Each structure stands twice: as C-alpha cells, then as structure tokens.
Amino acid sequence: MTATPTDTHPPQQAGPIDGKTLRTVCGLFVTGVTVITSGSGPHAAGTTVNSFTSVSLDPPLVLFCLHQASRLRPLVEESGAYTVNFLAGRQEPLAWAFAGKHTATLQDVEHRYSGAGVPVLSQAMAFLSCRLVNTFEGGDHTIFVGEVAELGVARADTEPLIFFRGSMGALEDEPHGPHPMFDS
C-alpha cells in the first residue's frame, strides 16, 4: 500500500532544519505535562516540563530535559534529586504558573517533601521522586536521568493535562471501544 499525502504541504524538509519548523513538527507529538520540583526550604523551585519519559524498568530510570539557562538546573545538580509531578487536566493554571522565567514559588502551592527531601506537589495526579544518576549535554539542553526512589498516585481516575500543537488542555473523553490496527 502506498501512502498518499492528505494536504498540500511538502511531506519532508531536507537541509538545515529551522528551529521554528522543528518545534512545529514536534508539537504534533502529544505529551503529558509535568512540573519538575527540586531543592529544599526557601531554595525549592519548580518548572513546567513536557520533555519527560521513562527509560528503564530495571533499574527504574526516567529522564527529562532542561534548557541550559533554566533556573531549576543548578537546584537539580546541587540537590542530586528531583520530583516529576504529573498534572491533571484541571491543573492548566498551575502549569502556566511554573512555565515562565518569573514563576510561582513553591510556597504559593500546597506541597510536601519526599523521603529524599525534594518537594512533591500535593495536588498532582501522580509523582516520581528521583535520585539523579547522570546528566548529558544535548545541544542547548541538559538531559537529567534519575532513578525512581519513591512514587505515588493520588488521582488515577483523573484525566491528564496534555500538550499538543503549542497548547495545553485536558484530554477529552473518547469512546474506549476496540481500535483495530489492521483490516483483516
């Protein structure tokens, strides 16, 4: 079977890749929205991140990426720990509060501390508290790999907050019937 383009845009771009075009194409990949928290006491902070993924089940590893100039970067490096807080659909205002250069402080948000001493947002859908095990430079970002030391699910029946085409929103309810992958 041959694929047929469904619109008038060229199917590919070769040569030097423009950052704006790359962001637009990557925006077609649906991601969840998290707030990464780190530090302790008055030096605790958080930032909104959608560049999160699991890496390994054994050992339990996850990763996320931060821009080199991120205000959270030195906190994660100094503390050697961070928490990935998964946000629910109704938490879009919280995601935006931690998304800018001048953001909300953790003192403005209900939270507690994990066993490793890093903040966990009390209203998060779920969380993973991690011990930093490695960092890698990746262009203008740093990739942080952590081993999950503690986790929790507060609201498993809640719809997640997602990021798609440059916008955040709740995952809409869809029919949950069978979705055949092949026509037999």
pTM of the model: 0.79
Name the DSSP class of 163.
Answer: E
The confidence score (pLDDT) of residue 173 equals 44
Q: Residue 178: its pLDDT value, please?
A: 40
**pLDDT at residue number 20:** 75
CB neighbours of residue 36 within 10 Å: 28
Q: What is the pLDDT of residue 129?
A: 96
Q: What is the mean pLDDT of each run of 10 residues along the chain (184 residues)?
A: 48 69 65 89 89 92 92 93 93 88 79 92 93 93 96 83 75 44 34
What's the token pair of residue 21? Answer: 């075009």
Q: Are 127 and 120 in contact (CB under 8 A)?
A: yes
d(CA 29, CA 88): 18
Query: How many CA atoms within 13 Å lie on the side-chain side of 146?
Result: 27
